[in-house]
Amino acid sequence: MNNKSNQSSDREENHSKKENPISTLDSRFNQTLRNVQGLLKGRSMPGKVLLTRRSNVLDHSKLQEPSLNYGRSFSFNDADTSDHIAKALEEEVESLSNPNNNANSNKLKSSTSNVENLSKGAQKSVMGARATDSTRVMKFTKVLSGTTVILEKLHELAWSGVPPYMRPDVWRLLLGYAPSNSDRREGVLRRKRLEYLDCASQYYDIPDTERSEDEINMLRQIAVDCPRTVPDVSFFQQEQVQKSLERILYTWAIRHPASGYVQGINDLVTPFLVVFLSEYLDGSVDNWSISDLSPDKISNIEADCYWCLSNLLEGMQDHYTFAQPGIQRLVFKLKEVVRRIDEPVSRHVEEQGLEFLQFAFRWFNCLLIREIPFHLISRLWDTYLAEGDALPDFLVYIFASFLLTWSDELLKLDFQELVMFLQHLPTNNWTHQELEMVLSRAFMWHSMFKSSPRHLAS
């Protein structure tokens, strides 16, 4: 009798679920939310995380509230950091999913009402949120110690940050400058370094009488920009450092005539210079002296910077050609993404007459190097380089997340205040916590949009 009663109850419950697809979706969303919150708090086992949602459950146009899906957890250096970020992400998810929160009723509404096939955009292997430093080092060591480095795995690990002393080797591999086969690596690096030295001797180490007028003007502009590069870090004010920057930039510009030298490229050399110098100099960057190194070591460092810069910019060639159309295209996409994610901020910026090009152009041109403290740049670039060829598209979501960090503040400012605020963002006291929040939101939003590009259509 009890079995029959239970079966009858089960049939009624199943029938009810079939008749109420919205409650089914709500249940799935709530479970997904709990899974995400548990993952971020470290309660889930590290490994592959796949949060899926069927696209044929119901007519999504009938939904009134957005549903969010997240596909990556992150590794942090300590438990306190991961707990702090987990709590903040939970609050953000809950605020966006709370039907009673009027302040966020428009956020993500249009962008999530038609999200389809998110699982295709969230299938990434991830590390546990509480992965310790020793665990991360062991994973990197295992990947790097193989006869042939599995680059896919290296990209995956590097996304969440690279142990500092491993960065030089990892960055060379991520950018394709060093070959994945360890037997070939030393020989290739030696050859490429000699090739750079030959180019620098041929193009840079010559008198001005052998240069064209355009080349003289370009060298003069580089010489003006080098002292302005990362002015708040004393290391870059050393004469020898500026000379190395000048040699790298001029040699690159001569060998890439389609773009030549464009202001902003000088900033892009600095992360490489610091990371490759760290193989030879210990302690804080502020205490470094490049004069402590031999000319041969300086030449090798310059060569590594040159080739890594070249490989980085290969995927962004139209960012630095005439009129920089690649950047303009990404700024437009950033505007659309912000409109979909946070419509009140988008509308306020538009009503104040502020164009995204007026503040975001520099972000794309210098990859945020001028916007956040320099000691965080290497961590940010771990993620940049881990994205590989997909970096330009992912920058849009990083910059959207960066901008909307100050969503509430932006709504209170008029045009002039907006301009001043965005030109002098309050990031001086940022730590890795704030940067990890920016990157985590960027990944979430990218996962939501990249499989549904129609959401970004005007």
Spans in the chain with pLDDT lower than 70: 1-132, 451-458
Supply the DSSP string of 124-189, one letter for each residue.
EEE--TT--HHHHHHHHHHHHTSSB--HHHHHHHHTT---GGGHHHHHHHHTTSS-SBHHHHHHHH
Residues with Cβ < 8 Å from 337, sequence gap 6 or more?
Answer: 396, 397, 400, 445, 449, 456
pLDDT at 56: 38
pLDDT at 301: 98
pLDDT at 364: 97
Q: Nearest 5°: phi and psi at 99?
A: -65, -15
pLDDT at 282: 92
The highest-level CATH class for domain 162-314 is mainly alpha
State pLDDT tens for residues 124-175.
333 333 344 788 899 999 999 999 999 999 999 999 999 999 999 999 999 9
By the 8 A CB rule, do 219 and 250 touch? yes
State pLDDT tens for residues 161-178.
999 999 999 999 999 999
pLDDT at 131: 40
For the chain, the structural domain boundaries read 2-126, 162-314, 325-456
pLDDT at 449: 86
Distance CA 396, CA 404 (A): 12
Distance CA 116, CA 55 (A): 5
pLDDT at 120: 34
Q: Which residue has the tokens 């250096």?
A: 77
In CATH, the number for domain 325-456 is 1.10.472.80
Alpha helix stretches (DSSP H) within 56-131: 79-97, 109-112, 118-122
Q: Closest Cα partner for 285 from 383, 225, 373, 385?
A: 373
Residue type, 168: P
Q: Closest Cα partner for 245 from 276, 217, 215?
A: 276
By the 8 A CB rule, do 293 and 280 touch? yes
Task: Identify how many contiguous H helices and E strands the chain contains and give both numbers.
Answer: 21, 2
Burial 235-274 (b: 16+ CB within 10 A, else e): bbeeeebbbbbbbbbbbbbbebeebbbeebbbbbbbbbbb
pLDDT at 456: 56
Q: Over the Cα atoms of the chain, what is R_g?
A: 25
Q: Nearest 5°: phi and psi at 181?
A: -80, 115
Supply the DSSP string of 276-333, one letter for each residue.
HHTTT--S-GGG--GGGS-HHHHHHHHHHHHHHHHHHHHTTGGGSSTT-HHHHHHHHH
pLDDT at 179: 97
Q: Closest Cα partner for 441 from 390, 414, 413, 407?
A: 407
pLDDT at 108: 53
